[in-house]
Amino acid sequence: MKIFCSAEHQRKHDPRTFLVSGAQRPSPETPARLDRLLEAALGAGHTLAETDERGLGPIAAVHTPEYIRFLARIHERWARIEGASDEVIPNIHPDRRLAAYPRSAVGQAGYHMADTACPIGPDSWESIRWSANSAVCAAEHVLGGDPMAYALCRPPGHHAFADVAGGFCFVNNTAVAATVLRRRHERVAIVDVDLHHGNGTQGIFYHRADVLCVSLHADPARFYPFFWGHEGERGDGPGLGYNLNLPLPRGAGDEAFLGALDAGLERVEAFAPGALVVALGLDASEHDPFGGLAVTTGGFGRIARRLAALGLPSVIVQEGGYLCDALGDNLTGFLNAFETGANGTA
């Protein structure tokens, strides 16, 4: 299948700060992830397609103007603060964002960043924009008639809300792809198979009935993102019933994952969408350094076949999945099985 990616731009974001239980560690969201995933996809016979600049319009269809301005300019403003760190990292975490919009760079970092796992460096905005361009181009390619496309988005996106970054994510590429697909399709389903709950995606569509969000993930009672991803979150207002969370116990393997996926796919079929976005995190792998779930490489192929069996025009958007020996095989296991399944030969 066609791969959408602009490696030259998307590689530049290189976060240096990651706090784990208060201790500073190297960020696992490294540029090397992109190289590993791209090399694997190309090696398995998938081909790189033209990914071009699509402007801010598709990003603005999902995110607020003040947030986009923040992402674009904050590093430059931050760098002017005497003694400031090299990366933009919030040191205030407001729990009420309704009262006022702060004018200071430090205040805005607190307002727009949910946690410390989304540091913004000098080249971050370039990578963020091009990661979104990859999602837009893949979705437009599918609207053009190809039944499937793979958007190799990096940095990832599913923890980003309309005006808040978090968990390595800035622009919600999955939501951007779904919004592009909505140009043609009245209803679009998102199935998020990342290890972590897709809280930003859920937040963006929580009050809407036109985009169904289904997320499978490690139970947030004891796992990031903690405050979202529980079964009781079903949507609100007109969106009530259009959000389905399927938390899994820590360490769950293929059978538990596939069982939950079947429940999610039943919900998708009843929704009768015109198109699908798969938020493809590969960090549910048994070998992923996050160690939350235990999906095997063969398991990713089985997940892909079931998703492909929906027979929907599909955009596969890369979310998490961190460096480990199995990372490339997990991706190609998924993409190959999806392609075979969608072509009806499996």
Interface with Zn ion (CB under 5 A): 194-196, 281, 283, 320
- Identify the active-site residue in 159, 185, 217, 287: 159
Residue 233, phi-psi category: left (phi > 0), alpha (psi -120 to 50), beta (remainder) = beta
Q: Minimum CB separation from Zn ion for residue 321, in Å?
A: 7
Quote the DSSP letter at residue 237: G
Instruction: Closer to Zn ion by CB, 225 or 273: give it.
Output: 225
Q: Minimum CB separation from Zn ion for residue 194, in Å?
A: 4
Instruction: Closer to Zn ion by CB, 195 or 261: give it.
Output: 195
Instruction: Closer to Zn ion by CB, 185 or 196: give it.
Output: 196
Name the residue among 69, 49, 68 with its Cα closest to residue 58. 68
Is residue 93 part of the annotated active site? The answer reads no
Beta pairing, strands 2-4 & 314-318: unpaired
Decide: 272 and 310 in contact? Cβ < 8 Å: no
Structure tokens given for 292: 């939350």
Q: State the sign of the Cα–Cα–Cα–Cα dihedral 224, 180, 278, 55.
A: negative
Q: How many CA atoms lie within 13 A of 169 on its CB side?
A: 31
Decide: 184 and 143 in contact? Cβ < 8 Å: yes
Q: Minimum CB separation from Zn ion for residue 293, in Å?
A: 10
Q: Minimum CB separation from Zn ion for residue 118, in Å?
A: 13
Q: Which residue is nearest to Zn ion (CB)?
A: 320
Q: What angle do CA 239, 245, 250 make, to 5 degrees?
A: 165
E strand or H helix that includes residue 59: helix 57-60
Instruction: Closer to Zn ion by CB, 75 or 196: give it.
Output: 196
Decide: 320 and 279 in contact? Cβ < 8 Å: no
Q: Minimum CB separation from Zn ion for residue 168, in Å?
A: 8
Instruction: Closer to Zn ion by CB, 90 or 281: give it.
Output: 281
Residues taking part in catalysis: 159
